[in-house]
Chains A and B, each alone.
Chain A
């Protein structure tokens, strides 16, 4: 099976702009989680989607949002970008939701905000 894919891989934006990142899970996986990775804060949970429903949300401002489509593909959106949003955004897919479901990560989208 193909692994988790994310597009685009690299992105440069300026402050105040918005950005949409896409994640395609492994075929058959219905759960998609998003994480932000920065050198200072490490890997932080953003949100998880399962069957088009947001199941949980991390401690991020409302500028961060997401959604999941019927084919399990997911997008996350960041509005009004700030310099501190520069990070590697990783998505992970899992066969099912719930603890114990192995999460497989995509290669990430590296976002640079200038």
Chain B
């Protein structure tokens, strides 16, 4: 799996957009970008994933650069409950053992009132 680089921590004001960057400069053409988050002492929660195009769902938006070497997760209106560690992962599809998710250190997002 490609290595990803994320800032260790970020703060965001409640109600504002949170923009979390991720660098994955060695991503391969068949690797997807996934975002998960982990609230303290819980299992990771899936947020969103994409290959080339920007994606949006009820939780967040994912913006992937044209060269696919970086991406940004956007939480449009952050709430206190969005305080968590956010992980950016790149991996191939899970057909074989190659499709495993390797977690880096993630970004600790703190949403402040």
Do A and B originate from a single complex?
no
Measured CB to CB, the residues of B under 8 A from A are none
